[in-house]
Amino acid sequence: MSRAIQYAVLVAMVSLLGTYFYLNAYKMEITQSHYDNFRHGEAALGVELHYGDEVLLTHHLRSSDLFDATAGHQLSFYQIDPALYQEIKEHAQEVRLLVNGKQTPYILGEQGKALKLIWGDRKLVLVKQGDLRTIAVNAWRDNVSRKGVVECYGEALCRSIRISGEGWGDLDGPYLDNEENIIKRGMPRGRWLYGPASRIVVESRIATEIIMAIDVLGLVEGMEMGFRGPLLGLKPMPVKPYDPPYGGLPLHPQSRLLKVALQPGVNTIVLSFSRWHRPNSWEQRPLAAYMTALKVKAAQTPQAGRSSP
């Protein structure tokens, strides 16, 4: 083998090795975090409940892959002695919460057979030792009632319409910043919209006008999003920059405000995408944009009239 060929092979091997380490660098960070927790025998947060000079509860709280129904709080459970449970319940409005040694504002109250302690982005559910049924009930309740991306405002309007979608993925997220799947890492709650086009379907019992606000995170930079349907107006809205966690997808936020004229029956708004992911062995879904919010309110007082059959 000539020297030139040897040099080319060496360069190729070094390039491949560098690419491998670049693509897997985030795993080193996750592994180091797990190792530190194991070595020190403690989690990221030290949680304490104080009543006067007495320390009622000390708990090392790790990150949780569970979230509550609002998607705003990591959900954790902790079993405690029944006598301690009763003492915390009796002094719920008088205890002090310390997180990593710092006094922290909180909400604490009993619901059913569980004490729910909420602060920041955390919810810690305290149950009596051995009460696994209460843990299961609370986890199930938060899961089945979790908030979706579609929100309707105004009782009269919301009783008159039903919103669904075509070309939407399942409700997904949120995920922690150390999620190993880079497609999911740090992602908020939302639904993927598929290219080349997805649809918003509004079934209405009345003729009325609505305002619709839609927030998405585009998968591909420079993606243009078009709208077709019974539109009376359309304009872009300011967006907040999306800051992905280390190794996460660099998504591109867009927001639109639409005024829509609804007629009794099925009304369809088509969302078209100029660019989207072409399915391959790595990801088989034609991902275009991740919808994080679809908010609807009446543009005016709904017109009186009979419901459509």
Name, in order, each residue with C-beta under 8 angstroms of 202's C-beta and a sequence gap of 6 or more. Answer: 161, 162, 163, 210, 260, 262, 266, 267, 268, 269, 296
Q: How many domains does the chain have?
A: 3
Dist. CA 71–CA 174, nearest whole Å: 7
Q: Tell whether the model's pLDDT for residue 108 goes beyond 70.
A: yes
When mean pLDDT is compared over 84-98, 126-140, 295-309, the highest value belongs to 84-98
Identify the CA nearest to 162 among candidates 258, 264, 289, 272. 264
State which of 111, 144, 177 marks the end of a domain.
Answer: 144
Are 85 and 224 part of one and the same domain? no
Identify the CA nearest to 189 among candidates 238, 150, 132. 150
Name, in order, each residue with C-beta under 8 angstroms of 113's C-beta and a sequence gap of 6 or more. Answer: 127, 128, 131, 134
Q: Which two tokens stand for residue 198?
A: 């997805």
Dist. CA 65–CA 70, nearest whole Å: 14
Segment 111-136, tens digit of pLDDT: 888 898 888 888 888 999 988 888 88
Q: Tell whether the model's pLDDT for residue 36 goes beyond 60.
A: no
Are 263 and 292 part of one and the same domain? yes
Least confident of 5-9, 27-31, 139-143, 186-190: 27-31
Are 156 and 128 part of one and the same domain? no
Average pLDDT over residues 224-253: 89
Predicted pLDDT at 225? 93
Q: Which two tokens stand for residue 98?
A: 């310390």
Residues pairing with 193 in the sheet: 168, 289
Whether 75 maps to a domain, the answer reads: yes
Whether 305 maps to a domain, the answer reads: no
pLDDT tier, 27 (very low <50, low <70, confident <90, very high otherwise): very low
Who has greater pLDDT, 118 or 65? 118
Spell 145-180 as b/e; 16+ CB within 10 A means b.
eeeebbebeeeebeebbebebebbbeebbbbbbbbe
Dist. CA 77–CA 135, nearest whole Å: 7
Q: Tell whether the model's pLDDT for residue 293 goes beyond 90.
A: yes
Who has greater pLDDT, 138 or 53? 53
Q: Tell whether the model's pLDDT for residue 172 goes beyond 90.
A: no
Residues pairing with 102 in the sheet: 99
Average pLDDT, the chain: 82
Residue 220 domain boundaries: 150-298
Are 129 and 154 part of one and the same domain? no
Whether 307 maps to a domain, the answer reads: no
Dist. CA 33–CA 178, nearest whole Å: 9
Predicted pLDDT at 145? 55
Are 106 and 168 part of one and the same domain? no
Distances from the Cα of 222 to the Cαs of 15, 23, 213, 238, 244, in angstroms? 29, 24, 20, 16, 18
Predicted pLDDT at 219? 92
Q: Tell whether the model's pLDDT for residue 245 goes beyond 60.
A: yes
Are 212 and 108 part of one and the same domain? no
Is 276 in contact with 196 (CB distance < 8 Å)? yes
Dist. CA 268–CA 262, nearest whole Å: 9
Whether 90 maps to a domain, the answer reads: yes
Q: Tell whether the model's pLDDT for residue 39 goes beyond 80.
A: no
Is 201 in contact with 167 (CB distance < 8 Å)? no
Least confident of 45-59, 137-151, 154-168: 137-151
Q: Which two tokens stand for residue 169?
A: 């993925």
Are 123 and 199 part of one and the same domain? no
Q: Which two tokens stand for residue 8?
A: 């080319």
Predicted pLDDT at 175? 81
Predicted pLDDT at 137? 80
Are 67 and 203 part of one and the same domain? no
User: DSSP assignment, residue 68?
Assistant: -
Whether 303 maps to a domain, the answer reads: no
Are 68 and 119 part of one and the same domain? yes
Who has greater pLDDT, 111 or 80? 80
CATH number at residue 182: 2.60.120
- Length of the chain in residues, anyone? 309
pTM over 0.85: no
Rounded to 10 deg, the angle between the 25-40 and 3-23 helix axes is 50
Average pLDDT over residues 163-183: 84
Predicted pLDDT at 60? 87
Are 132 and 169 part of one and the same domain? no
Least confident of 3-7, 35-39, 115-119, 125-129: 35-39
Are 14 and 66 part of one and the same domain? no
Are 8 and 62 part of one and the same domain? no
